[in-house]
Amino acid sequence: MKIFYSDTHRRHYPPFEIFDGGKRVPYLENPDRMDQILSALEKTDWAELIEPADFGLDPIRAVHDEDYLNFLATCWDEWLASDPKVAAAPEENAFLPATFALRRSTRKPVTLLGKGGYYMMDLSACIVAGTYPAALSSANCALSAAQFVAENSTRAFALCRPPGHHAGKDYAGGYCFINNASVAANWLSSKGKVALLDIDYHAGNGTQDIFYERDDVLTISIHGDPEFEYPHYIGFADETGAGAGLGFHKNFPLAAGTTDAQYLSALDESLGMIQKFAPKFLVLSTGMDTFDGDPLGSFKVSRNGFAEIGKRISALNLPTAIIMEGGYANKALGENIVTLLEQF
């Protein structure tokens, strides 16, 4: 299997994030996640690592607001230039606003911190010097996988970091800055219908935002119920698309403690929808934070469960771009993702 990966992700390593209650903690979405996966892949006889191609900004601009991308590109340097304390110790700092846009409007702020609150959803989307290059590289991994899948009618894995499915058209959130899976799905959509299945523990709010009014990309997300789980404000069962996209989005919000059998039941319903849609391509947003014991999840999916999930999705027999999203039980992460990938 072709694995598209770039070490550029290491440039994005914020020194902290802010948890609920205002607690400052070490950044959970860290380079060790990739090291654990790389170590597990090295033990296989089927993984071939490849540097991604550079697709430029056009495929990303096709999904994300240009002003938002400009903010990501310039934020750190502008903040560094405006604050001598940050400039004196950049390695100890991460850009985070303290004020967020409670209700969105067409009026965009002009100050840096104002733009931060407008373009950022939460306190985990920390920006440091290497964030934007890492996000671009991550998107290029997804695009490279999509291109390989389209040209060879096969499967490929984009080992993306930072992840992407919480990034909307014009906002960052949940460790995500560019929506890698959506960029890949949109690129593939010019070649035929696409289904995008999100199996990360958290609702793919950014993906939902991007495709909610489109009927050429079917989007499905299986996740922890936002009644109790992040992102709280999106991902409910009655959100099924709008306009031309009505009926082309489906959320499966599941209860805490969801077991393998319960998860697989929702997955089977999802796969039935995909078969009915009859896409030419599948994009799989692949989070491993459904694992029993993940620090940011509450599901009880086992390693055997991941094998069965992979087996059932693979049985669709579709050209598939598998895009890495979350998963924070680092010691188990590598073996978990390899267990799923082996089914492809």
Q: Provide the pLDDT for residue 197.
A: 99
Which ranges of the chain does DSSP label H, i.e. alpha helix?
A: 31-42, 58-61, 66-82, 84-88, 112-119, 131-152, 180-189, 205-211, 260-277, 303-314, 330-341
Query: Would you give per-residue pLDDT tens digits along the chain (344 residues)?
Result: 999 999 999 999 999 999 999 999 999 999 999 999 999 999 999 999 999 999 999 999 999 999 999 999 999 999 999 999 999 999 999 999 999 988 767 688 999 999 999 999 999 999 999 999 999 999 999 999 999 999 999 999 999 999 999 999 999 999 999 999 999 999 999 999 999 999 999 999 999 999 999 999 999 999 999 999 999 999 999 999 999 999 999 999 999 999 999 999 999 999 999 999 999 999 999 999 999 999 999 999 999 999 999 999 999 999 999 999 999 999 999 999 999 999 99
Q: Which of 166, 202, 223, 249 is catalytic?
A: 166
Asked whether the beta carbons of 171 and 63 are under 8 A apart, the reply is no
Q: Provide the pLDDT for residue 108.
A: 87
Integer angstrom CA distances of residue 47 from 154, 157, 231, 322, 329: 14, 9, 33, 14, 22
Q: Quote the CA–CA distance of 7 and 274 in Å, as a whole number.
A: 34
- Annotated active-site residue 12? The verdict is no
Q: Quote the CA–CA distance of 87 and 129 in Å, as a whole number.
A: 11
Reference 194, options 244, 150, 159, 162; nearest CA is 150
Q: Provide the pLDDT for residue 104.
A: 67
Task: State the residue for tokens 């009915």.
Answer: 276
Reference 299, options 332, 255, 233, 335; nearest CA is 255
Cis amide prior to 162 (ω within 30 degrees) = yes
Note the CATH number of domain 2-55+133-341: 3.40.800.20
As given in the structure block, the two tokens for residue 1 are 């299997």
Reference 194, options 63, 19, 26; nearest CA is 63
Reference 142, options 279, 37, 11, 283; nearest CA is 283
**What is the pTM assigned to this prediction?**
0.97
**147 Cβ partners below 8 Å, 6+ apart?**
53, 187
At 319 the three-state DSSP class reads coil
Q: Provide the pLDDT for residue 102.
A: 80
Q: Quote the CA–CA distance of 245 and 220 in Å, as a whole number.
A: 12
- Cα-to-chain-centroid distance, residue 123: 16
Q: Quote the CA–CA distance of 129 and 142 in Å, as a whole number.
A: 22
